Structure 1
Amino acid sequence: MYIVSGSAPETVERSEADIQLERRDLAVEFIFCLVLIEVLRQLSFHPGHEDLVLYIENLAFKHFKYREGTQTGPNSGNIHIIADLYAEVIGALAQSRFMSVRKRFMTELKELRSKEPSTHTTQSIISLLMGMKFFRVKMVPIEEFEASFQFMQECAQYFLEVKDKDIKHALAGLFVEILVPVAAVSL
C-alpha cells in the first residue's frame, strides 16, 4: 500500500517536472529564434556558411512537422509560438537563400502528398504550409522576383489539384500572407 500511494504523487511530480522542463526548453528556443532572425537578416552581407544555413533550415523544417497530442498539452500555446518563430526564421533565411528554402519546401510537400490521405497527413501539410507564411516576394533583382512568382505558381497549381478543403483554406491563407505585403508596396 505504501508503494502505491508513494508512487502516484511521484508520477504526478515527474509529469509536472517534465512540463516545466519542456517550458524551459521552449523559452530557450524562443530566444534562439529571435537571435536567428536577426542574424539571418544579415546573411546576405556575409555569404558562405552553407553548413550552418543547412542546419538551421533542417531545424526549422523539423518544427513544421505535425505531432499528435501537442495541441492539447499544457505547453501547446508555446509550441505554436515557437513554430511561428521558426516560420519567421525561414522567412528571413529565404531572403538570402530562397532557392534552398524553396527546394526543401517542395521536397517536403511532395513527400507528404505521396502519403496515404489521412487526418495526420492533412495536418502535416497544413503545418508545412504555415511554415512558409513569412516568405516575402523579393522585388529586385528581377530574377528573384520571377523565382518568387514561380514558387507562387507551383503553390497555385497545388491549390487547383488538391481536393481537401482544409488544405485549400490553408493555401488561400498562405497566399494572403505572401501577397498582402506585395500589394502594400504597389499602393
Structure 2
Amino acid sequence: MATRAAEFGFRRAGFADVAAGVALAEELMGSKIATAEDVMRMDVVTGMTAWVRGNPVDGVFLTLPLSASGEQAVRNGTYVPAHPDPAHLAWQGKDVAGVYIGVYAGATKEARRAVMTAAALMRMEFFAPVPAFARGATEDGKRSMASLGFQPLEGGLPDLCVQEPAVSGSEAA
C-alpha cells in the first residue's frame, strides 16, 4: 500500500506530519477532528491510518480499517470517529471487515487531484471486498464522495455514507 500511495506523493506520517495533516484538515473543513495523538494511536494499531503528501503538508488521508465489531458500530451509530474503541479497529495483520475514511483533503488543486485519485485506486485495489464508510464534512466532500459512488446510510452517524463492497465474496476469493 505504501508503494502505491507513494505514486501519488503520499507517505506514512510521523507525529509532526500527522499534526500538520490534522491542522490542514481542520482548516479546510472548518471543524475539529481527532487530535494528532489520537491519530497516531490509531496508526500504531492499524499500521495504515495516517498518510500525508507535500512538504509542507498539502494533502492528508486518514484511513481506518475496521474489525467486524467496528463495521457494525459504524452502521449502528456507536462508532466514535475521533477516538474509536480499539476493538473497533482492525489491528495490523488481522482481518479487515470495513474501512472508515476519516479524512481526505488537499489544500491545492494538485493535492486534491492526488487525494481523489489515491482514494479511488486504494479503495478498489485494497478495500474492494469490504464496505467503505465516510461522512461529508463539506459540500465539496459530499460531492467527491458521491462521485466515488458513496450513498447515504441511515441509522449510523450523522451524514454517514457507505460504498458497499465492490466485489462479492466469491470474486474476492
- Work out whether the TM-score is over 0.5: no
Larger radius of gyration between Structure 1 and Structure 2: 1
Structure that is richer in helix per residue: 1
Structure that is richer in strand per residue: 2
* TM-score normalised per structure 1: 0.29
